[in-house]
Amino acid sequence: MREILEHHLIETLEIPEDASHWLMGMWDAIQFLDDIADGDAVGRGSFDRALHHLLVGLPSNKFFTAHAQQLLPVVAVQLLKWQASDIVERAGAADARSYMWRAGYYDLVLWVVQLCHGYDAAVTLAPVVMLLYGETAEDYQKEFANA
Structural domain count of the chain: 1
Residue 146 has pLDDT above 70, yes or no: no
pLDDT of residue 147: 54
Distance, in Å, from the CA atom of 83 to the CA atom of 66, rounded to the nearest integer, reads 27
- DSSP H or E run through 64: helix 62-90
Q: Which amino acid is at 60?
A: S
Give pLDDT tens digits for 11-67: 999 999 999 999 999 999 988 988 898 899 998 988 898 899 999 999 999 999 999
Mean pLDDT in residue range 101-130: 95
Q: Bigger pLDDT: 121 or 38?
A: 121
Give pLDDT tens digits for 87-105: 998 899 988 888 888 888 9
Cβ atoms of 24 and 5 closer than 8 Å: yes
pLDDT band for position 123 (cuts 50, 70, 90) = very high
Burial 93-130 (b: 16+ CB within 10 A, else e): ebeeebbebbbbbbbbbbbbbbbbbeeeebeebeeebe
Domain that holds residue 123: 2-145
Count Cβ atoms within 10 A of the Cβ of residue 13 and give its class: 0-12 exposed, 13-18 middle, 19 or more buried. Answer: buried
pLDDT band for position 145 (cuts 50, 70, 90) = low
